[in-house]
Amino acid sequence: MKLGQIRKELHKSKTVNFHEREIRGVADDSRAVSDGYLFIAVSGETQDGHPYAVDAVSNGAAAVVCERKLVLHETIPQIIVQDAREAAALIAAKFNGYPSERLKVTGVTGTNGKTTTSYMLKSIIEAAGKSSGLLGTIQHIVANRHIRAKNTTPSVLDVNKLMAEMCREGQEYAVMEVSSHALMQKRVHGIHFDAAVFTNLTDNEHLDYHKTFAAYRDAKCKLFEPLPETSFAVLNLEDPSSGYIAQRTRAKVVTYGVSREADVRSIVISSSMAGTRFELYTPGGTAEIGASFFGRYNVSNATAAAAAAMCLGFGIDGIKAGLEQYAGTQGRLEVVDCGQDFSVLVDYAHSADALANVLTTLREVVPARIILVFGCGGDRDKGKRPKMGAIAKKYSDYFVITADNSRSEHTEDILAQIEAGIGDCNHYLVEPDRTAAIRLAINAARPGDVVLIAGKGHETYQISGNTTIPYDDREQARTALRNLRKLPSEVTVA
């Protein structure tokens, strides 16, 4: 693409040393630049891209988009813009042929449930014989290609690039998780959403970044505010923030929940570890769903996916088939089975609300004991740590608190803050070594018990200080289970 074509997209821009160049690619990381690329110097949260423009030129950049005039060789055109993030979004869309306008795109946002809801919606779409790509926390899926995700929502350059690949592969739909960080950093700026789903909002998550609940809620609104009148805002009627969001969007509002006032609603018939039966009511018909997942919060996720699918034009039969075919999501109540006579589940629950949801769900269906392993991440909301300690005490029969991506903080300090919410309690242990903590919990289990390993879910790493090491709760659990009969009992639980 010619540089002049790109320049036309950037209104109110100024140029320095402008002359026509052929642009072969676009990057906002100087290390990703090669011959003929356009480098976009973005002022990030922790780093400023402008000083790296020299490196980008050394790597072959043909031109630079920046927010201020740079000292570069006169052969390098500079396009100066007010907001490089917005410019990146406009450039990415143009360079990739406006892929979001060629797909039916659904964005899913909320504190909890984004991943599960996204996978459920993808299952519904594919049960109806259509093809859907997915961009999410665990991975990005384009046709048969699975790409490990670095962020819940990729950069705006990657979003457009991946969507363009979906178009080339003949996919008609795209489902993507949209985080509050991504919305603040304009990673989905300019993306055309046919539907946007709001799952829920808790008051104790991401406040290290947003500072206040009001700012966090306003960040979520950024997904709904640009929606045109032809798109749909799918809102959780059970969450008080939905009313606030509804006032901030021009889109058609469709509500879901358990209330009779919801446009799409579900009523649980029965639930056990084997699965859940629930009645799904939609304006297009009613169906009894027999699903392999369990838990009321997962029924809420399924109802959200059903409401979004209805907005996209899918009928009740396809919705039923998709939810019944949904086979689960990595790290979301994922079963680890080595033939033991108790259950081991790995889940991503790493907030107070998510942990309470999982534990109360298990309490409804588990007749025996619940043994919990969990921790809290460093450099994240400290206020949730004592709350999670109190939740563990209330809903589990025995628990071990341990390390979970301590980052720059001392693990012992994090564990002490968790303990501050526990109070008088004699059914827990503190074990900073996560591998030892998992082994303790599994070795304490008796027939019929459930061991829940919470916090990391699908993650395959552990972060301590500046060091990241390979680590997978599922593999650690399998190792502990294989060695179970070789080890003496390490703990007795009353």
For residue 226, give the nearest of 105, 50, 137, 380 by alpha carbon.
105
- Domain membership of residue 493 (yes or no) is no
Q: Give the chain's mean pLDDT.
A: 95
The answer to whether residues 35 and 109 belong to one domain is no
User: Is residue 491 one of the residues assigned to a domain?
Assistant: no
- Which structural domain, as residue segments, surrounds residue 105? 99-325
How many independent structural domains does the chain possess? 3
In tens, the pLDDT along 422-447 reads: 999 999 999 999 999 999 999 999 99
342-358 average pLDDT score:
95
Q: Which two tokens stand for residue 233?
A: 């805002």
Q: Are residues 385 and 310 in the same domain?
A: no
- Edge to edge, the sheet with strand 25-27 lists 14-16, 78-80, 63-66, 37-40, 25-27
142-165 tens-digit pLDDT: 999 999 998 888 999 999 999 999
User: pTM, whole model, 2 decimals?
Assistant: 0.92
What CATH number corresponds to the domain at position 247? 3.40.1190.10
pLDDT in tens, 112-141: 999 999 999 999 999 999 999 999 999 999
Residue after which a domain boundary falls, among 283, 301, 325:
325
Per-residue pLDDT band at 228 (split at 50, 70, 90): very high
Give residue 446's pLDDT: 96
User: Which one of 325, 360, 377 terminates a domain?
Assistant: 325
Both 297 and 420 in a single domain? no
Treating both helix axes as pointing N-terminal to C-terminal, what angle do 316-325 and 296-311 enclose, rounded to 10 degrees? 140
Start-to-end C-alpha separation, the chain: 70
Q: Could you tell me if 118 and 210 lie in one domain? A: yes
By three-state DSSP, how is residue 429 classified?
strand
Boundary (domain end) residue, out of 274, 299, 325: 325
50 and 144 in a single domain? The answer is no
